[in-house]
Amino acid sequence: MIYDDHQCIHIYFVPPRMLGYHGWKNLILKSINGYEPINIQQLVDVLVRKLEGEMIEFRCQVVGEKDADYVICMSQQEVIRSENRVLQRHMIASWCSMEAISKELREELEAKESSEAKRKNAYHTMAAMRNITNG
C-alpha cells in the first residue's frame, strides 16, 4: 500500500484462502477502522494501541482513481495468531522497523515494560507490543 507521502507498507497477514489480495498494488491507505494515519508511525500507533473489536478494516483507494475504493476486512485474532508464521515464512525479522515506532509509543513501552530484553523482543511483533501496551 502506498501513502500519499510515498512511504510504503506491505500487508502480509492475508490468509492463504484470500489469494486474490496478493495481486493488488498501487493502493493508498485511507483509513483503518476509521483512523486516518498520515505516515508509517501513525499507522503503527493505530495497529498497536487503537484497534478494538473483532475486525480490522482497511479502506484503500487505487492511485489515480478517486472513485475506486477497496475495503479489506480481516479478523483481528486471525491476524495476531498468524503473525509469527507469516513473518517466518517470508523471512521477515520484524513486523516494522524501529523508525516506524513513534517516540511516544517507545516511551509508553518503556514505562510499561522495565526489562530492556523483553522490550527489545517485543519490538519484533505487533502482538507482543500490543500485549505490553494493553497490559
pLDDT tens digits for range 54-108: 999 988 888 887 776 888 888 888 888 888 988 888 888 898 888 999 999 999 9
What phi, psi does 114 have (nearest 5°)? -75, -25
Give the per-residue pLDDT at 8: 44
Average pLDDT over residues 128-133: 92
Kindly indicate the confidence band of residue 20, based on its pLDDT and cuts at 50, 70 and 90. Answer: low
Kindly report the CA angle at 87 between 50 and 45, in degrees rounded to 5? Answer: 20
- Architecture of the 16-134 domain: Alpha-Beta Barrel (3.20)
Which three three-digit cell numbers place residue 9? Answer: 507498507
**Look-up: residue for cell 507521502?**
5
Residue 30 near residue 61 (C-beta atoms within 8 A): yes
pTM of the model: 0.77
How many Cβ atoms are within 10 Å of 28's Cβ, its own excluded?
Answer: 15
Is residue 133 very low, low, confident or very high in pLDDT (cuts 50, 70, 90)?
very high
